[in-house]
């Protein structure tokens, strides 16, 4: 029996649901999948094993099983890529697809007004995850991709999500903050604490970064009731940013999405009333 519970005549019988190394199989499978990123979209077995820290024999068994269920696909040259089955499953995530389906019409309006990058992100522990991005063909280059992770302390989306995160998450981010290539106005943990207070007070975040490109961003919280569930932002070149009116547009769009989310929540909670109202 192999590590995934699928019979394999080359393996001796093994009791329990853990591999010989003692790590749960599900953890090792996710480690293998996590080896993929925007710079490593197709990998050989050796690369998967090295990047995931998995013994090659175990990586082979896991990869075969993941291919079998559609989580991975194998190219003609033998390299592995992420399978469509993962996209099907991920599309069901309520913080992804459900939020996107509500927000998309408003994001499209904002995109047509700004003709820049329009981002929608949610917090996942100590990072932000980008769930949607609209970008003009001639917009400045950015490193953000849908499904990619953004730092909470150096992006507009991240600062909004961090400012309204539980105090324990904020305290950890502040205590571990190290200046780097990111927000130009945050140099110390004290700067970060002041910035988060300003975001809560103004209900939006402005950001400036010079690496790898000079860009500005403005972001605002998206709420479902009293809870901040996402952040919406526009990212654009720093030249002319202050006069472009991005701030009011982003805040108004975020409020419109929030109202729609609240309406959807009421419809879900009181479906009979919704039918009667129609």
Over residues 242-264, mean pLDDT: 90
Place 164 in a pLDDT band, splitting at 50, 70 and 90: very high
Over residues 142-164, mean pLDDT: 88
Both 202 and 181 in a single domain? Answer: yes
CA distance 174 to 167: 10
Predicted confidence (pLDDT) at residue 24 exceeds the cutoff of 50: yes
Question: How many helices and strands, by DSSP H and E, does the chain display?
Answer: 10, 8
Predicted confidence (pLDDT) at residue 9 exceeds the cutoff of 50: no
Place 162 in a pLDDT band, splitting at 50, 70 and 90: very high
**54-68, 74-88, 179-193, 233-247, range with greatest mean pLDDT:** 54-68
CATH number for the domain spanning 214: value is 3.30.450.40
Q: Is residue 3 part of a domain?
A: no
Q: Is residue 6 part of a domain?
A: no
Both 139 and 263 in a single domain? Answer: yes
Q: What is the pLDDT of residue 211?
A: 65
Q: Write out the residue range of the structural domain in which residue 78 sits.
A: 25-87
Place 94 in a pLDDT band, splitting at 50, 70 and 90: low
> Token digits for 2?
């192999």
Domain boundary among 64, 87, 110: 87
Both 37 and 102 in a single domain? Answer: no
Over residues 181-239, the pLDDT tens digits come to 556 778 899 999 999 999 999 999 998 876 667 788 999 999 998 999 999 999 998 87
Predicted confidence (pLDDT) at residue 273 exceeds the cutoff of 80: no
**What crossing angle do the helices spanning 99-114 and 246-269 adopt, rounded to 10°?**
160
Residues contacting residue 153 through CB under 8 Å, at least 6 positions apart: 159, 162, 173, 177, 182, 183, 186, 192
Over residues 65-78, the pLDDT tens digits come to 999 988 899 999 99
**10-19, 78-87, 95-104, 255-264, range with greatest mean pLDDT:** 255-264
Work out the mean pLDDT of the chain and round it to a whole number.
Answer: 82
Both 32 and 143 in a single domain? Answer: no
CA distance 109 to 245: 14
Q: What is the pLDDT of residue 17?
A: 41
Tally of domains within the chain? 2
Predicted confidence (pLDDT) at residue 275 exceeds the cutoff of 60: no
- More confident call, 76 vs 90: 76
> Token digits for 104?
């998309």
- More confident call, 32 vs 211: 32
Both 170 and 204 in a single domain? Answer: yes
Place 107 in a pLDDT band, splitting at 50, 70 and 90: very high
CA distance 144 to 135: 11
Residues contacting residue 89 through CB under 8 Å, at least 6 positions apart: none
Domain boundary among 52, 87, 122: 87
CA distance 56 to 78: 15
CATH number for the domain spanning 42: value is 1.10.10.10
Predicted confidence (pLDDT) at residue 269 exceeds the cutoff of 90: no
Q: What is the pLDDT of residue 12?
A: 37
Both 41 and 154 in a single domain? Answer: no
Place 85 in a pLDDT band, splitting at 50, 70 and 90: confident
- pTM for the whole thing? 0.68
Both 134 and 236 in a single domain? Answer: yes
- More confident call, 256 vs 139: 256
Both 67 and 173 in a single domain? Answer: no
């Amino acid at each position: 029996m192999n590590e995934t519970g699928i019979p394999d005549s080359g393996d001796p019988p093994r009791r329990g649901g853990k591999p010989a190394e003692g790590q749960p199989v599900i953890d090792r499978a996710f480690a293998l999948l996590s080896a993929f990123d925007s710079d490593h979209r197709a990998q050989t077995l050796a690369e998967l094993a090295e990047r995931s820290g998995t013994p090659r024999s175990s990586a082979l068994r896991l990869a075969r099983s993941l291919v079998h269920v559609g989580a991975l696909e194998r190219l003609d040259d033998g390299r592995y890529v992420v399978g469509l089955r993962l996209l099907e499953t991920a599309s069901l995530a309520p913080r992804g697809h459900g939020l996107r389906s509500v927000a998309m019409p408003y994001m499209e309006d904002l995109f047509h007004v700004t003709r820049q990058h329009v981002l929608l992100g949610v917090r996942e522990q100590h990072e932000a995850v980008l769930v949607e991005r609209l970008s003009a063909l001639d917009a400045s280059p950015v490193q953000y991709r849908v499904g990619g992770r953004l730092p909470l302390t150096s992006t507009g989306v991240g600062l909004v999500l961090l400012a309204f995160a539980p105090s324990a998450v904020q305290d950890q981010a502040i205590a571990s903050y190290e200046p780097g290539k990111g927000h130009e106005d945050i140099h110390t943990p004290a700067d970060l604490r002041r910035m988060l207070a300003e975001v809560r007070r103004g209900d939006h975040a402005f950001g400036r970064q010079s690496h790898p490109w000079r860009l500005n961003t403005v972001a605002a919280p998206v709420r479902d009731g009293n809870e901040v569930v996402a952040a919406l932002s526009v990212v654009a070149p720093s030249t002319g940013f202050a006069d472009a009116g991005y701030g009011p547009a982003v805040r108004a769009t975020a409020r419109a999405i929030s109202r729609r989310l609240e309406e959807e929540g009421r419809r879900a909670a009181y479906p009979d009333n919704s039918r009667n109202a129609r």
